[in-house]
């Protein structure tokens, strides 16, 4: 009777654990190497603002860019089911699409400022079909240092000093 040869190697469980650990590591490491520069974020933000303004005028309904500490989203006013709470009867703000939620890279933030005398701190830019828009100044910051400042002039947001 011949001796049984044993083939050595890794088990399926060991390979699955290694792949899981590598995947988990990649989720933490890859964002550190993203090349999202302040200039690229600026271009994306301005494009989204222009899109919201153009869509509000073309579709004759309000659009909004809503900001939070992580990024911004493009929202539109949509009809809702009867009985749901909303400041606008029968309407609520919904994301235009999943692609329109934008994340800010680490160290970047957007601060909106409004003219003196207004007591609220804005968290959104609102575009209305009749051009009675709520248009704060947009300050783009990188590591708490002001990078760019934009204001609404001649129908679009433009950089100013």
CA distance to 6, 7, 111, per residue, from 3 (Å): 9, 13, 75
Please tell me the predicted confidence (pLDDT) of residue 19.
94
pLDDT in tens, 49-67: 888 888 888 888 888 888 8
DSSP 3: P
Query: How far apart (Å, rounded) are the C-alpha atoms in residues 40 and 4?
Result: 63
Please tell me the predicted confidence (pLDDT) of residue 105.
77
Tokens of 118: 């207004």
Please tell me the predicted confidence (pLDDT) of residue 55.
85
Query: How far apart (Å, rounded) are the C-alpha atoms in residues 51 and 5?
Result: 68
- Please say whether the beta carbons of 36 and 51 come within 8 A: no
Please tell me the predicted confidence (pLDDT) of residue 18.
93
For 4, residues 6+ apart whose C-beta sits below 8 A from its C-beta are: none
Count of beta carbons in the 10 Å neighbourhood of residue 150 = 19
* Whole-structure pTM value: 0.63
Please tell me the predicted confidence (pLDDT) of residue 33.
61
pLDDT in tens, 99-156: 667 888 777 878 777 655 555 556 778 877 777 666 778 877 877 777 778 887 777 7
Which H/E stretch holds residue 15?
Answer: helix 12-29
Query: How far apart (Å, rounded) are the C-alpha atoms in residues 34 and 127?
Result: 32
- 67 beta partners: 72
Count of beta carbons in the 10 Å neighbourhood of residue 131 = 11
Query: How far apart (Å, rounded) are the C-alpha atoms in residues 127 and 59?
Result: 11
- Please say whether the beta carbons of 67 and 110 come within 8 A: yes
pLDDT in tens, 3-14: 666 777 889 999
């Amino acid at each position: 009777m011949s001796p049984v040869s044993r083939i050595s190697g890794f088990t399926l469980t060991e390979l699955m654990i290694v792949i899981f650990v590598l995947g988990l590591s990649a989720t933490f490491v890859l964002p550190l190497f993203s090349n999202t520069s302040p200039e690229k974020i600026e271009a994306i933000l301005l494009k989204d603002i222009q899109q919201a303004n153009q869509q509000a005028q073309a579709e004759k309904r309000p659009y909004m860019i809503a900001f939070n500490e992580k990024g911004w989203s493009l929202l539109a006013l949509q009809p809702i089911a009867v009985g749901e709470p909303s400041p606008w009867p029968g309407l609520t703000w919904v994301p235009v699409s999943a692609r329109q939620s934008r994340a800010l890279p680490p160290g970047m933030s957007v601060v909106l400022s409004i003219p003196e005398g207004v007591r609220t701190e804005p968290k959104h830019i609102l575009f209305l079909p009749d051009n009675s828009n709520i248009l704060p100044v947009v300050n783009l910051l990188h590591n708490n240092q002001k990078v760019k400042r934009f204001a609404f002039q001649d129908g679009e947001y433009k950089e100013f000093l």
